[in-house]
Structure 1
Amino acid sequence: MSVESPLPEPADALVPMPATAFVLGGDLGGTSTRIVVADAEGNVVGRGAAAGGNPTSHPASAAANFGQALHAALAGLDPTLVKAAIVGAAGGVALARPDVAAQFDAAWSGAGLTAKPEFIGDLEVAFASGTSEPDGTVLISGTGSNAGLVRDHKLVRTSGGHGWLLGDDGSGFWLGREAVRSVLLTLDRGEPIGLLGQLVVQAILPDRDENSVALRTGYDVLRDDLVRTVNSRPPVLLAELARTVATAYEQNDETARALVKRAAELLTETLEVLRTTEDRGPMVLAGSVAGESSPVGRLIRETIDQHFSGEVLTARDGVGGATWLALGALDPALATQQNHTRLVEH
């Protein structure tokens, strides 16, 4: 009795698994947009960068910059092999608007990507860049400031982050605004403006004749010039004066030292809203103002043990943190300490 050979399956019934799977991490900041593509072993296989991708601060160009960075990162790769994607967005709240979301969706699909991206806040990305632990607290202070409580790698509560008009206490913007206010108050009193004042004037009015401040009438003109110039610019540019405050601080300017001390206190208060003495997870500090090289960041690190227990860490590469989270989204077993180290400390 003969046995007939089985009939071959139709071609469309055979769905081969991809030879490999990629993950994608993104960091949409106010200054730059960065994209990383990695394989399942945490090896980076593609990188892309473009100008600012924050949809709040760059509403007209953020999506286009996002698309540019995606194309660069995916050059020479099959975008359909990207199976998980986590993108941190500093202005992520803007993505809730249908028109903004549509622009980012178009940039995503225009790069040939088929996996659905997950957009998360910059707090979660910053925390993941600083530690592989699932629970803890994160503080960001750069241009703005905010803090978050993280549980199982997810943001569960926030404090601050209300923007320059309503909050951002202790941020770069806050430092810059307070520096200018201190100069204006000194001018109103007819007193010498000191080192910080001189540096602020040089930063805002670089072409001004310094001799004009020697006379009382000169003080009046200087005050008006400062007010007019600052108000003619986007308010967020005051954050650039944070570096000026730091410079004056290092030269022992009394006003600058008082501002740095107050900024550190305000940022610690922002954390205190979230964190209790029962929280034992690490605290991750991120951003230029809370960084290790900033006088504000150094002061926070020197005094934080008076308020909290637990390890204090510094955020590393944000896009690396997002990519590591994407690995965990693809397969929780891939979110290892080894892969974390490889991605955030390259």
Structure 2
Amino acid sequence: MSLERPVPEPGDPVVLMPASALVLGGDLGGTSTRIVIADHEGNVIGRGAAAGGNPTSHPASAAANFGQAIHQALDGIDPRLVSTAVIGMAGGPALSNPDIGARFEAAWSGAGLVCEPKYIGDLEVAFASGTPEPDGTVLIAGTGSNVGLVHDHALVRTVGGHGWLLGDDGSGFWLGREAMRSVLQSIDLREPLGVLGEAVVAATLTDPGIRVAAEREGYDNLRDELVRTVNNRPPVMLAELARTVVAAYDADDKTAQALVKRAAELLIETVSRLRTTSDNGPLVLAGSVAGESSPVGRLLRQNIHEHFDGEVLTARDGVGGATWLALGALDPALATRANHARLVS
């Protein structure tokens, strides 16, 4: 096997690297698992995808989906050539569970991979997908919300991310919960439900017969049916109502507009716990709620410069960010801006 010598910084030891060395990047989310194989020049040579690979939200199936995506990405590739792997996931702490950890290890070794995978948080991957800069701040607002401070491409501190019960202010869950609370308050006060309220009822009581019966029997029955239905589901499913809030916002519903405005304010407040006005590194925004197409994300971008200096960027392809970090772990000289642009575009 031929060897090439990367150009070291002054004083760095010389490391010989196989010319055929490959890297693996992974992005394991609640809805999808994505794996990329790239050569040491940043060219993607393999991709794989499967259903959700977050071991917290999918403890029974995450490892199997992880393995499926790896096998697909490695199709026609010798897994022994993969020298470095960086895998981002939101549910990383779940790997400390011996059973879940063993399943992930079995999926990894079962694919013939021999290098040691490095699991990192979704904040680091999101930041790397948005910028090649080594230092800055990242906000993820999707189902939950979390902010991280990044130094030298590594996460050094976080705020928020306390989960649906204790925090996640401004997140999709927060929007859904507050929308439901506004409906219940309107019912208690015998007020008209409005565009948002009617949409929340329809999205929650999906059986038309149950909904019509509850509405016909009066506000108290409708309230009881809503409360019963919500309490019989996993709490995090309230996040699904975030889409209802956005639709009502677009229909000029005043309650939805107030919730969207407050969500943006809460997210800015969360960032302010970590980032000061003197920080000038980039702020990367990630997640569906903070996205450019979301009204919350649009308000964030309009108002964030009133509070913080620095460039505001949007996270892009998470698995590309993880793959770029894997290149840097293989050899820092490979973590170039050109490779970054190639992998996250």
TM class by shorter-chain length? over 0.9
Q: Compute the displacement of 1:172 (Å).
A: 0.3
Partner of 1:276: 276
- CA distance change for structure 1 residues 254 and 63 in 2, over 3 Å: closer, same or farther? same
After superposition, where does 1:57-206 map in structure 2 within 5 Å?
57-206=57-206
Higher CA-based Rg: 1
- CA distance change for structure 1 residues 188 and 46 in 2, over 3 Å: closer, same or farther? same
Q: Does 2:55 align with 1:55?
A: yes
Secondary structure of 2:155 counterpart: strand
Secondary structure of 1:298 counterpart: helix
- CA distance change for structure 1 residues 221 and 120 in 2, over 3 Å: closer, same or farther? same
- CA distance change for structure 1 residues 229 and 214 in 2, over 3 Å: closer, same or farther? closer
Partner of 1:323: 323
After superposition, the C-alpha distances for 1:54-94 in whole angstroms (9 at most, x for unaligned) are 01000111111111111110010000100010000111111
- CA distance change for structure 1 residues 96 and 343 in 2, over 3 Å: closer, same or farther? same
Secondary structure of 1:69 counterpart: helix
- CA distance change for structure 1 residues 207 and 21 in 2, over 3 Å: closer, same or farther? same
Partner of 2:335: 335
Is the 2:283–2:312 contact (alpha carbons within 8 Å) kept by the matching residues of 1?
A: yes
Secondary structure of 1:220 counterpart: helix
Q: Compute the displacement of 1:251 (Å).
A: 1.1
Q: Tell me the TM-score normalised to structure 2 length.
A: 0.93
After superposition, the C-alpha distances for 1:260-295 in whole angstroms (9 at most, x for unaligned) are 011111111110010012211000000000000000
After superposition, the C-alpha distances for 1:145-175 in whole angstroms (9 at most, x for unaligned) are 1000000000000011111111111100110
Secondary structure of 1:192 counterpart: coil
Partner amino acid for 1:275? Answer: R
Partner of 2:45: 45
**Structure 1: how far apart are the matches of 2:212 and 2:17?**
75
**Structure 1: how far apart are the matches of 2:72 and 2:248?**
41
**Structure 2: how far apart are the matches of 1:34 and 1:191?**
47
Structure 2, unpaired ranges of 5+: 1-15
- CA distance change for structure 1 residues 182 and 314 in 2, over 3 Å: closer, same or farther? same
**Structure 1: how far apart are the matches of 2:234 and 2:76?**
40
Is the 1:327–1:334 contact (alpha carbons within 8 Å) kept by the matching residues of 2?
A: yes
**Structure 2: how far apart are the matches of 1:278 and 1:182?**
38
Partner of 1:262: 262
Is the 1:212–1:219 contact (alpha carbons within 8 Å) kept by the matching residues of 2?
A: no
- CA distance change for structure 1 residues 63 and 306 in 2, over 3 Å: closer, same or farther? same
Is the 1:138–1:284 contact (alpha carbons within 8 Å) kept by the matching residues of 2?
A: yes
For these two proteins, the number of residue pairs brought into alignment is 329
CA RMSD of aligned residues (A): 1.4
Q: Compute the displacement of 1:17 (Å).
A: 7.5
After superposition, the C-alpha distances for 1:87-121 in whole angstroms (9 at most, x for unaligned) are 00111111122322221111111110011110000
Secondary structure of 2:169 counterpart: coil
**Structure 2: how far apart are the matches of 1:112 and 1:218?**
62
Partner of 2:9: none
After superposition, where does 1:225-304 map in structure 2 within 5 Å?
225-304=225-304
Partner of 1:33: 33
Secondary structure of 1:265 counterpart: helix
**Structure 2: how far apart are the matches of 1:214 and 1:142?**
32
**Structure 2: how far apart are the matches of 1:100 and 1:280?**
40
Partner amino acid for 2:190? Answer: G
Structure 1, unpaired ranges of 5+: 1-15
Q: Compute the displacement of 1:213 (Å).
A: 7.1
**Structure 2: how far apart are the matches of 1:164 and 1:111?**
35
Q: Tell me the TM-score normalised to structure 1 length.
A: 0.92
Is the 2:138–2:284 contact (alpha carbons within 8 Å) kept by the matching residues of 1?
A: yes
Is the 1:173–1:238 contact (alpha carbons within 8 Å) kept by the matching residues of 2?
A: yes
After superposition, the C-alpha distances for 1:177-228 in whole angstroms (9 at most, x for unaligned) are 110110001001111111100111111113336766776x421111111111
**Structure 2: how far apart are the matches of 1:214 and 1:311?**
50
Deviates more, 1:230-239 or 1:25-34: 230-239
**Structure 1: how far apart are the matches of 2:101 and 2:208?**
45
**Structure 1: how far apart are the matches of 2:153 and 2:81?**
25
Partner amino acid for 1:218? Answer: G
Partner amino acid for 2:38? Answer: A
